[in-house]
Structure 1
């Protein structure tokens, strides 16, 4: 956190150095990213990503959409618009935040974006099948996604029973856990552990972690078997 001198923010452990939440999903033929937050440019550079087929959005908050402008580099090298998959509500915000990307007559070099509307029905990005899972971020609907045996959910404070059923059978679940104390719009650590245990997913990784949680190594040592903290650069093969 900017200007913070707490033990987490001054830690030398690289696992305590967390950028905004985002993941990259890859198959043999397709690469997509879930969310393009303010750190998108650096995340792509750090991971040496040379090709990106699509961005799939969970919701419209700034920490998940603010980096979308930087798709212009992929536009240049791939010579095609970036395929963006988002709900109607998220698309409204994207158009409002990046209006210049949708002008009929555009200045050369501006982002080229092709919007694709998604709801709760399964869709495909290349050879990757994506099943949306609707969760609640306080009163805001947010989309999580299941990719085969892997499920990713962020910014949730409640998940309806019908949507929990979509997660069951996953081998790996990534779930948000903001801090130990209860929060109005995010699962706390205890709440996330409860969800993971209820679903009986063999491996759960916790993400969207704030500095209020404590140091990675110290808190992870207290977690139940099969539940770990995610960290920047983590690679999961499913």
Structure 2
């Protein structure tokens, strides 16, 4: 299993357009990027690959990192920074299987799968496969399981990907608060690599309109607002999941420049063989 981090940034990416903060300036000076979130997973045994989420930066990411076009893909939720790159399928793919959860979202009255099918009805190459969370499905030779997480107001999912031949396991927290349900944690547990949403450091919660949530025993917030984990929350989740290695993703340019590029914060283009 070869894992390439195509996009490790949040909804605006780093550097952010029009921003001259110290973090964005440092990223420009060092040639570092965090484009919108996407992960490419290659099954080298069978020569197929799987994409997690369609970043709006799809075209640029694939050209920059020179990875193969996917044979199948997963959409974790319908926020634009995870979905809108699907339009790049047009005139690029002959066919593409897209998997997404089949649970009806009370906010939209549609499942993620139904939203993808409706919004991209004009894309003849795609076939959308409604997928039941917490039930593994075989995709590109991997056993893939969508797991519910907490990312209000929309339904959102993390993903566990296991190679039944080698035993390698990749877990993605998805866009989520620290309040990941117990049954989802059980599926995500014991990965060789965990990609965890850690949008900002906990000390920035004081600047959020509603502050932080899910404080630990030391009073450190593990959730920034309601939708994303803090760095500290993501690392605590990693410990609880017994992750062998952890990279923090979905990172905002609000990290102070002296913290923004420290371990274990990921940057685009990182590659891991599990």
TM-score category, normalised to shorter length: 0.7 to 0.9
Q: Conserved in 2, the CA contact under 8 Å of 1:74 and 1:82?
A: no
SS, match of residue 225 in structure 2? coil
Q: Conserved in 1, the CA contact under 8 Å of 2:197 and 2:251?
A: yes
Distance 2:98 2:188 in 1: 24
Deviations 1:33-53 (A, max 9, x none): 100021111111112234320
**Mapping 1:153-172, distance limit 5 Å:** 153-157=173-177, 158-172=179-193
C-alpha displacement of 1:150: 1.2
Of stretches 158-167 and 88-97 in structure 1, the one that deviates more from structure 2 is 88-97
Q: Which of 131, 141, 145 is 1:118 aligned to?
A: 131
Distance 2:198 2:66 in 1: 28
Q: Is 2:270 the partner of 1:234?
A: yes
SS, match of residue 8 in structure 1? helix
Instruction: Report which of the two has the higher share of strand.
Output: 2
C-alpha displacement of 1:139: 4.2
Count of residues in Structure 1 that have an aligned counterpart in Structure 2: 218
SS, match of residue 77 in structure 2? coil
C-alpha displacement of 1:178: 0.7
Distance 1:95 1:163 in 2: 26
Q: 1:205 to 1:169 in 2, by over 3 A?
A: same
**Mapping 1:73-84, distance limit 5 Å:** 73-75=91-93, 80-84=94-98
Structure 2 match to 1:198: 240
Q: 1:95 to 1:51 in 2, by over 3 A?
A: closer
Structure 2 match to 1:104: none
TM-score by length of 2: 0.74
Higher relative contact order (CA 8 A, sep 6+): 2
Q: Conserved in 1, the CA contact under 8 Å of 2:56 and 2:85?
A: yes
C-alpha displacement of 1:171: 1.7
SS, match of residue 55 in structure 1? strand
CA RMSD between the two structures: 1.8
Structure 2 match to 1:27: 43
C-alpha displacement of 1:208: 0.1
Deviations 1:142-190 (A, max 9, x none): 1111112211122111201121111222121110011122232111112
Deviating above 3 A after TM superposition, structure 1's stretches of 4 or more consecutive aligned residues are 217-221
Q: Which of 112, 131, 135 is 1:90 aligned to?
A: 112
Structure 2 match to 1:209: 251
Structure 1 match to 2:107: none
Distance 1:168 1:99 in 2: 36
TM-score by length of 1: 0.85
Distance 2:65 2:180 in 1: 31
Distance 2:150 2:122 in 1: 31
SS, match of residue 61 in structure 2? helix
Q: Conserved in 1, the CA contact under 8 Å of 2:176 and 2:197?
A: yes
Q: 1:38 to 1:26 in 2, by over 3 A?
A: same
**Mapping 1:38-117, distance limit 5 Å:** 38-75=56-93, 80-88=94-102, 89-101=111-123, 111-117=124-130
